[in-house]
Amino acid sequence: MSMMRNLLYAGVLASASFAVAPAYALTAKECSVKYQAAKDAGTLGGLKWNDFRKAECASDDSPAASTKTTTAKKAKTTAAASNDDDSGLTMKECSAKYQAAKSAGTLGDVKWNDFRKTQCSADAAAAPVTKTKTAKSQANDDDDSGGGLTMKECSAKYQAAKSAGTLGDVKWNDFRKSQCSAGAAAAPVTKTKTAKSQANDNDDSGSGLTMKECSVKYQAAKDAGTLGGLKWNDFRKAQCAAGATAANDDDDDSAPSVDNATYTDDPPAPTTRAPRGVAFPSAVSTKYSTESPGKARMHTCLDQYYANKQRNSLGSLKWIQKGGGYYSLCNSRLKS
C-alpha cells in the first residue's frame, strides 16, 4: 500500500509540473530579438527578461499565454496608450522624424516620448526621405553662408588675401561666410611663379638693377667700407631702385676704400669748379680729431665722396682727376 501511495503521489507532482511550465512558441533567439525591439521602442513597460519571455514568447495555447500576468497586461496597455492607438506613423517613421528634427535643431527640450505623442499621432506626416550625403557634400551644406564659391575657390581667395596681407584678424570660417557667399567673385587665377621671378617680385623697391647687379654693387660698398651699417634689404631698396646705376669696377679706380686710404701729401689745388649738386663737408669730422690735419681732411672728404656716390650725386666727378677731382676740391674747401 505504501508503494502504491508513493507512485500516485509522484504522478500528481509530474502532472502539476507539466501544467505550470510554459510552452514557448518562440525560440530563445527569436524571443531575444523581440525583447530587444520592444526595448528599443520603449514599450517594455518595466518588464524584465523572464516576465517578457513568459508573456510575449509563450505558445498561445499554453497556460502561460492564456494567463498572462497582470503586470504584463498593464505594461502592454501602458505602451499602447503611450504610443497612441490611432498613431499615423510607425515607430520607424517616427524615429526618422525625431532624428530629422534633432539634426535641424528644432527639438528644443522635447524628449522622445513627448515627441512621439505630439508628432507621430494620427494625421502626422513622416519625415521626408533624403539620400545620405557624403562628407564632402555635407561640409558644403554646413556652410550656412549660401556660398556662391566652391570650397576650392574660397580657399584660393582666402590664401590670396592672406598673401596680400588684407585678411586682418578674420578667421577662415568668418572669411568663408562673408567673402564666398552668393555673388562673391573667385580670386583671379595666376600662373605659378618660379623662385627667381618670385624673388624679383618680392623686391618692392621697383629696382632698376637686377639682383646680380645689385649684389655686385652691395659687395663693392661693403669692400669700400661705405655701407654705413645698411643691411642687404635696406641697401637693395635704397641703392638698386629705378634710376640706380650698377657698380663698375672701372668706375673710379682713383678712389681708395675707407679702410685702405693712406695719406702722403695734400692733392694739388683744383683748377676747375665742381659740378652742380655735388655736396662737400663743411668741416673736418670729429671722429678724425686724433689724426694729423691732412689725414683728417682726407678721411672726411673720402666719407663724403662715398656718400655722394651712393646717392648718385657725383655727376662725372672722380676722386682724383686732371684739373681737380673730388679730393682736391674738398681738401681745398676744408683748408680755407
- pLDDT, tens digit, for every residue of 270-329? 998 888 889 999 999 999 999 999 999 999 999 999 998 888 888 788 999 988 899 999
> What is the enclosing helix (H) or strand (E) of 305?
helix 293-310
Model confidence at 56: pLDDT above 60: yes
- Which distant-in-sequence residues (6+ apart) come within 8 Å of 75 by Cβ? 43, 44, 45, 46, 47
Specify whether 156 is located in the same domain as 264.
no
Based on the domain organization, do 287 and 223 belong to the same domain? Answer: yes
When mean pLDDT is compared over 65-69, 99-103, 184-188, the highest value belongs to 99-103
Domain annotation covers residue 40: yes
pLDDT of residue 145: 44
SS3 for 45? coil
Q: What is the pLDDT of residues 198-214, one digit of tens each?
A: 555 454 444 477 887 78
Confidence of residue 73 (pLDDT cuts 50, 70, 90): low
Average pLDDT score, the chain: 74
**Distance (Å, rounded) from C-alpha 303 to C-alpha 288?**
11
What pLDDT shows up at residue 282? 93
**Within this chain, do residues 157 and 217 fall inside the same structural domain, yes or no?**
no
**Is residue 27 left, alpha or beta, with left meaning phi > 0 and alpha meaning psi from -120 to 50?**
beta
Within a domain: 140: no
Tell me which of 13 and 278 has the higher pLDDT.
278
- d(C-alpha 212, C-alpha 218), whole Å: 10
Q: In terms of pLDDT, which residue wins out, 241 or 243? A: 241
- Domain annotation covers residue 202: no
Which domain-ending residue is among 46, 64, 82? 82
**Local confidence band at 116 (pLDDT 50, 70, 90 cut-offs):** confident
Q: 17 and 78: one domain?
A: yes
Q: Would you state the pLDDT for residue 6?
A: 56
Mean pLDDT of 107-125: 80
pLDDT above 80: residue 188 = no
The answer to whether residues 77 and 18 belong to one domain is: yes
Report the range of poorest mean pLDDT among 22-31, 237-246, 302-311: 237-246
Q: What pLDDT score does 265 carry? A: 92
pLDDT value at 159 more than 80: yes
Whether 173 and 160 map to the same domain: the answer is yes
Does residue 75 belong to any structural domain of this protein? Answer: yes
Q: Rounded to the nearest 5°, which phi and psi values hold at 171?
A: -90, 170
| Cα gap 152→158, rounded to integer Å | 10
Is residue 79 within 8 Å of residue 36, measured between CB atoms?
Answer: no
Closest CA to 256 of 203, 310, 305: 305
| Whether residue 91 is found in the same domain as residue 78 | no
Confidence tier at 22 by pLDDT (50, 70, 90): low
Sign of the CA dihedral 223, 226, 229, 234? negative
Q: Is residue 203 part of a domain?
A: no
Number of domains observed in the structure of the chain: 4
Q: Are 106 and 141 in contact (CB under 8 A)?
A: no
| Three cell numbers written together for 276 | 652742380
What span, in angstroms and rounded, lies between the C-alpha atoms of 330 and 302?
Answer: 9
- For residues 259-267, average pLDDT: 89
Domain assignment of residue 40, given as a range = 2-82
Average pLDDT over residues 237-249: 65
Place of cell 530587444: 36
Q: How confident is residue 266, by pLDDT bands cut at 50, 70 and 90?
A: very high
121-126: long-range contacts at Cβ-Cβ below 8 A with a sequence spacing of 24 or more? 121/84, 121/86, 121/87, 121/88, 121/89, 122/84, 122/86, 122/87, 122/88, 123/88, 124/87, 124/88, 124/89, 124/94, 124/97, 126/89, 126/93, 126/94, 126/96, 126/97
In the chain, the percentage of residues whose pLDDT exceeds 90 is: 15
Q: What is the mean pLDDT of residues 49-76?
A: 63
Q: Which residues contact 335 (CB under 8 A, 6 or more apart)?
A: 266, 297
201 located within any domain: no
Same domain, 157 and 261: no
173: in domain: yes
Report field, pTM of the whole predicted structure over 0.75: no
Per-residue burial over 206-234, b if 16 or more Cβ lie within 10 Å, else e, is ebebeeebbbbbbebbeebebbeebeeee
Residue 240 pLDDT class (50, 70, 90 cuts): confident
Query: Per DSSP, what are the bridge partners of residue 207?
Result: 241
In a domain, 301, yes or no: yes
Same-domain status, 219 and 274:
yes
Mean pLDDT lowest among 18-32, 57-71, 319-333: 57-71
| CA 153/CA 222 separation, integer angstroms | 47
101 shares its domain with 70: no
169 and 122 part of one domain: no
* pLDDT of 174 higher than 50: yes
Q: Is 65 found in the same domain as 99?
A: no
pLDDT of residue 295: 94
Give the range among 65-79, 112-126, 225-239 with minimum mean pLDDT.
65-79
